[in-house]
Amino acid sequence: MDIIYKPIIFCLCLLLGHTVLSQQAEYALMPMPQELISQEGKFRIDTTFQVAVQGNPDERIYANATRLIRSISERTGIFLHAQGFVKPEDKDANAPVLITVSRPGKVVLHEDESYQLTIDENQVKIEAPTDLGAIHGMATLLQLLQADTAGYYFPALQINDNPRFAWRGLMLDVARHFLPMDVIKRNLDGMSATKLNVLHLHLSDNQGFRVESKVYPKLHELGSDGQYFTQQQIGDIIAYADALGIRVVPEFDLPGHATAMLVAYPELGSQDQAYEIERYWGIFDPVLDPTNDYTYQFLDSLLGEMASLFPDDYFHIGGDENTGKHWDQNPEIQAYMKANNIKDNHELQTVFNERLLPIIQKHGKKMMGWDEILQPGVPKDIVIQSWRGKESLYEAAKQGYQGVLSNGYYIDLVQPTNEHYLNDPIPADANLTEEQEALILGGEATMWSEHVTPETVDSRIWPRTAAIAERYWSPQSVNDVEDMYERLDKISLYLETVGLMHLRNKGMLMRRLANGYDTEALEVLVDVIEPLKIYQRNAGGTMYTSFSPYTKIADVATPDQKVAREFRDDVDHYLQKSTEEEAEAIRTKLSLWEANHHQLLPTIRKSPVLKEIEDLSYHLSQLGAVGLEAMDIIAYQATVPEEWPERAKKVVELAKQQGGRTEIMVVSAVEKLVTQAIQEEGRNNTNTKY
Binding residues (CB under 6 A) for ligand ACM: these are 320-321, 370, 387
Q: Tell me whether residue 370 or residue 485 sits nearer to ligand ACM (CB atom).
A: 370
Contact 258, 204 (CB under 8 A): yes
* Contact residues for 373 (Cβ-Cβ < 8 A; gap 6+): 317, 319, 353, 367, 382, 384
Residue 445 DSSP label: E
Closest approach of Cβ 321 to ligand ACM, in Å?
5
Cβ proximity to ligand ACM: between 111 and 320 the closer is 320
Report in angstroms how near the CB of residue 387 gets to ligand ACM at its nearest.
4
Q: Which residues pair with 74 in a beta bridge?
A: none
Contacts of 470 by beta carbon, 8 Å cutoff, 6+ apart: 30, 31, 32, 194, 421, 478, 484
Residue closer to ligand ACM by CB (options 389, 400) is 389
Task: Look at residues 385, 381, 357 and name the one whose alpha carbon lies nearest to residue 370.
Answer: 385
**199: Cβ–Cβ under 8 A, 6 or more apart, which residues?**
169, 170, 172, 184, 187, 188, 191, 237, 241, 246, 247, 248, 249
The least distance separating ligand ACM from the CB of residue 370, rounded to whole angstroms, comes to: 5
| Nearest CA among 483, 501, 433 for reference residue 190 | 501
Minimum separation from the CB atom of position 648 to ligand ACM (A): 42
**Residue 320 Cβ, how far from ligand ACM at the closest point, in Å?**
4
User: CB nearest ligand ACM: which residue?
Assistant: 320
Contact 665, 530 (CB under 8 A): yes
d(CA 60, CA 505): 31
- In the three-class reduction of DSSP (H, G, I as helix; E, B as strand; rest coil), residue 197 is classed as coil
Question: In this structure, are residues 54 and 88 in contact, taking their beta carbons and an 8 Å threshold?
Answer: no
Cα distances from 635 to residues 572, 629, 631, in angstroms, run 15, 10, 6
> Whole-number minimum distance, CB 420 to ligand ACM, in Å?
15
Q: Which of 580, 588, 568 is nearest to 636 (CA)?
A: 580
**In the complex with ligand ACM, which residue's Cβ is closer, 460 or 568?**
460
Residues with catalytic roles? 321
Give the three-class secondary structure for 37: strand
Name the nearest CA neighbour of 33 among 477, 523, 591, 677.
477
Smaller CB distance to ligand ACM: residue 241 or 404? Answer: 404
Phi first, then psi: what are they for 154, rounded to 5°? -105, 135
- Output 300 or 320, the one with its CB closest to ligand ACM: 320
Smallest separation (angstroms) from ligand ACM to the CB of 155: 42
Nearest distance from residue 173's CB to ligand ACM, in Å? 9
62: Cβ–Cβ under 8 A, 6 or more apart, which residues? 53, 86, 87, 88
Closest to ligand ACM by CB, 387 or 472? 387
Local structure of 251: helix, strand or coil: strand
Give the residue ranges of DSSP H helices in 155-197: 181-193
DSSP per-residue letters across 198-209: EEEEEEEETTEE
Residue 177 Cβ, how far from ligand ACM at the closest point, in Å? 15
Beta-strand pair 124-130/115-119: antiparallel
| CB-nearer residue toward ligand ACM: 221 or 321 | 321
Helix or strand or coil: residue 685?
helix
Query: Nearest 5°: CA angle at 422, between 421 and 427?
Result: 130
Q: How many helices (H) and strands (E) does the chain have?
A: 25, 18
Q: What is the CA radius of gyration of the chain?
A: 28
Task: Give the residue with the Cβ less far from ligand ACM, 321 or 496.
Answer: 321
List helix spans (H) across 543-613: 553-556, 562-577, 580-606
In whole angstroms, how close is the CB of 325 to ligand ACM at the nearest point? 17
In this complex, which beta carbon is closest to ligand ACM, that of residue 394 or of residue 485?
A: 394
